[in-house]
Amino acid sequence: MRRPAFYSRSPRTPPPAAEQAADQADAAASPDAAGAGGIVQPPTAPAQAGWQPGRKSFALLLVLCAALVTGGTVWWPRQGKAITQKDIDAAVLRTMQTATLPSPAAKAADIIRPSVVRVVGYGPEKATPEAKTQKRGRNMAKGKPPEAPLDGTAPGEVERGVGTGVVIVDKGVILTNLHVVAGSEKIKVTFADGLEAVAVITGVQPENDLAVLQAQKIPDDLIPAAMRSTADLRPGDQVAAVGFPFGIGPSVSAGVVSGLKRSFRSPEGKQELGNLIQFDAAANPGNSGGPLINMDGEVLGIVTAILNPTQQRTFIGIGFAVPIENAASAAGSPPF
pLDDT by residue (tens digit) across 189-217?
A: 999 999 999 999 999 999 999 999 999 99
Supply the pLDDT for residue 141: 63
Contact at 8 Å (CB) between 201 and 194?
no
Supply the pLDDT for residue 63: 61
Supply the pLDDT for residue 161: 84
Supply the pLDDT for residue 134: 58
Supply the pLDDT for residue 95: 80
pLDDT by residue (tens digit) across 260-277?
A: 999 998 776 677 899 999
Percent of the chain with pLDDT over 70: 64
pLDDT band per the 50, 70, 90 thresholds, residue 320: very high
Longest dimension (CA), the chain: 151
Residues involved in catalysis:
179, 209, 288
Supply the pLDDT for residue 20: 54
Nearest to 292 by CA among 235, 253, 331: 253
pLDDT by residue (tens digit) across 134-187?
A: 556 666 666 666 555 544 455 557 888 899 999 999 999 999 999 999 989 999
Distance CA 315, CA 318 (A): 7
Contact at 8 Å (CB) between 319 and 273?
no
Supply the pLDDT for residue 317: 92
Buried b (16+ CB within 10 A) or exposed e, 151-189: eebeeebbbbbbbbbbbbeeebbbbbbbbbbbebebbbb
Q: Would you put residue 313 in left (φ > 0), alpha (ψ -120 to 50) or beta?
A: left
Contact at 8 Å (CB) between 177 and 304?
yes
Distance CA 249, CA 288 (A): 13
pLDDT band per the 50, 70, 90 thresholds, residue 35: very low
Report the range out of 11-20, 129-138, 215-224 with the highest average pLDDT: 215-224
Q: Give the β-pairing of 210-215 and 173-177.
A: antiparallel
Average confidence score pLDDT of the chain: 78
Q: What is the mean predicted confidence (pLDDT) over 250-257?
A: 96
Distance CA 212, CA 174 (A): 6
Nearest to 304 by CA among 318, 287, 327: 287
* Helix, coil or strand: residue 188: strand
Supply the pLDDT for residue 42: 52
Supply the pLDDT for residue 303: 96
Identify how many contiguous H helices and E strands the chain contains and give both numbers.
Answer: 7, 12
Q: Does domain 110-123+156-331 have CATH number 2.40.10.120?
A: yes
Decide if pLDDT at 12 tops 60. no
Supply the pLDDT for residue 143: 65
Q: Give the β-pairing of 251-265 and 319-323.
A: unpaired
C-alpha torsion 192→197→198→203, nearest 10 = -40
AA identity, residue 196: E
What single DSSP character describes residue 265?
A: E
pLDDT by residue (tens digit) across 89-125?
A: 888 888 877 877 789 999 999 999 999 999 999 988 6
Distance CA 335, CA 227 (A): 8
pTM reported for the whole predicted model = 0.65
Supply the pLDDT for residue 89: 87
Supply the pLDDT for residue 133: 60
The larger pLDDT score, comparing residue 114 to residue 80, is at: 114
The larger pLDDT score, comparing residue 173 to residue 47, is at: 173
Contact at 8 Å (CB) between 198 and 122?
no
Distance CA 188, CA 160 (A): 12
Task: Spell out the SS3 assignment of 213-242.
Answer: EEECCCCCCCCCCCECCCCCCCCCCEEEEE
What single DSSP character describes residue 323?
A: E
Contact at 8 Å (CB) between 222 and 167?
yes
